[in-house]
Amino acid sequence: MEEEVYDVIIIGGGPTGLFASFYAGLRDLKVKIIDSLPQLGGQLMELYPDKYIYDIGGIPKILAKDLVANLEEQARYSNPTICLEETAMEVEKRGDFFVLTTDKTVHYSKTILLTSGVGAFQPRKLNVPGAAAYEGKSLHYKVKNIQDFKDSNVFVLGGGDSALDWSLMLEDVASKVTICHRKEQFTAHEMTVQQLQNSKVHIKTPYGIKELVGDGETIREVVIVGKDKEEERIPVDHVIVNYGNIASLGPLKQWGLEMQKNSIVVNEKMETNIEGIYAAGDVCTHGGKVKLIAVGFGEVPNAISHIKAFIDPKSRVQPMHSTSIFETVK
């Protein structure tokens, strides 16, 4: 079957990519959004969903997660195809369209808009010999379904909100939950720390992890080390690691894009040095740019209008006012 060729593939479903999806709808473009995370919203949902944002024009104060909910509603205007948990890896120009290879499949598009922010997020891995062999079996970096841990002996690593939230959620599902943090104090919200202290969760602080003991499939025990170097062996079925994320542009750096430090250089049309590949938001730079949500929003109409003119040279770069579009065209 012939694969569909999109007008624009937006790589990155953060605030810039979501606004770009809406704007591409205004310019009648066929849109696909690809993001490596399991949810849309970029840094806002991954790093600070419950933090207020005060510096968006016209919105005096809004929670990051509420801004993302609004953006998602607006982004749906273009009826985009959304591909989550998929990381863009390679690109190749074939005739007048791009072939984009991800870690899952291949996509086709006339143009590409990079709204990839600080890059794809990866969980910070557990640095213990042999850990990789257990990944996805009894060593976990995310919890997809809490029932997977039913009646199990679960060992949670980390001291932030995710580690404490998962420990508390597992309290009544697992047979036993132990949380282990290398520092004396947890860094989670005070109320969550209080809840943990009042819960049945076993607390091991300050303890570092030294070893996973098992057969390469299933972890049977963890060896932890206290501040006086004393060792303790704890029987476990599953280990959940919550050490946060690291972000990296990774594969995008191999595309031959002109870079300045860690940012992709764009011209006044938001076009990169590769014809047909554009960028907006935190991922790109042009002179004295600052990296903020409002700046990414401002770059979107420029990028999308030039993408429209690139695909259809007869169309106007300058868009109509949105009222004209909403009240006459659609």
Alpha-carbon distance values, 326 to 27, 115, 329, 330 (Å): 11, 25, 6, 5
Q: Which of 5, 291, 312, 319 binds ligand FAD (CB under 6 A)?
A: 291
Taking CB atoms, the residue at the shortest distance from ligand FAD is 117
Helix (H) or strand (E) holding 221: strand 219-225
Determine the Cα–Cα distance for residues 205 and 160; give it in Å rounded to an integer.
13
Nearer to ligand FAD, 251 or 298 (CB): 251
Q: Does 282 bind ligand FAD (CB under 6 A)?
A: yes
Residue whose structure tokens are 């593939």: 9
Q: Which stretch binds ligand FAD (CB under 6 A): 112-120, 154-162, 217-225, 311-319?
A: 112-120
Q: Does 80 bind ligand FAD (CB under 6 A)?
A: no
Nearer to ligand FAD, 111 or 115 (CB): 115
Phi then psi for residue 149, to 5 deg, are -105, 15
Q: Does 20 bind ligand FAD (CB under 6 A)?
A: no
How, if at all, do strands 62-63 and 202-204 pair?
unpaired
Determine the Cα–Cα distance for residues 239 and 229; give it in Å rounded to an integer.
22
Residue 153 burial by Cβ neighbours in a 10 Å radius (0-12, 13-18, 19+):
middle
Determine the Cα–Cα distance for residues 317 and 271; give it in Å rounded to an integer.
14
Nearer to ligand FAD, 62 or 223 (CB): 62
Q: How far is the CB of 74 from ligand FAD (least distance, A)?
A: 14
Q: Which stretch binds ligand FAD (CB under 6 A): 113-121, 155-163, 206-214, 233-241?
A: 113-121
Q: Does 53 bind ligand FAD (CB under 6 A)?
A: yes
Binding mask 214-253 for ligand FAD (x = CB under 6 A): -------------------------------------xx-
Q: Which of 293, 300, 303, 307 binds ligand FAD (CB under 6 A)?
A: 293
Q: Does 292 bind ligand FAD (CB under 6 A)?
A: yes
Query: Chain centroid to CA 275: how far?
Result: 27
Number of residues lying near ligand FAD (CB under 6 A): 36
One-character DSSP codes across 231-280: EEEEE-SEEEE---EEEE-GGGGGS---EETTEEE--TTSB-SSTTEEE-
Helix (H, G, I), strand (E, B) or coil at 74: helix
Q: Does 294 bind ligand FAD (CB under 6 A)?
A: yes
Q: Does 37 bind ligand FAD (CB under 6 A)?
A: yes
Please, what's the largest Cα pairwise distance for the chain? 74
Nearer to ligand FAD, 114 or 239 (CB): 114
For ligand FAD, the binding residues (CB under 6 A) are: 11-17, 34-37, 42-44, 47-48, 53, 55, 87-88, 115-121, 251-252, 281-282, 291-294, 296
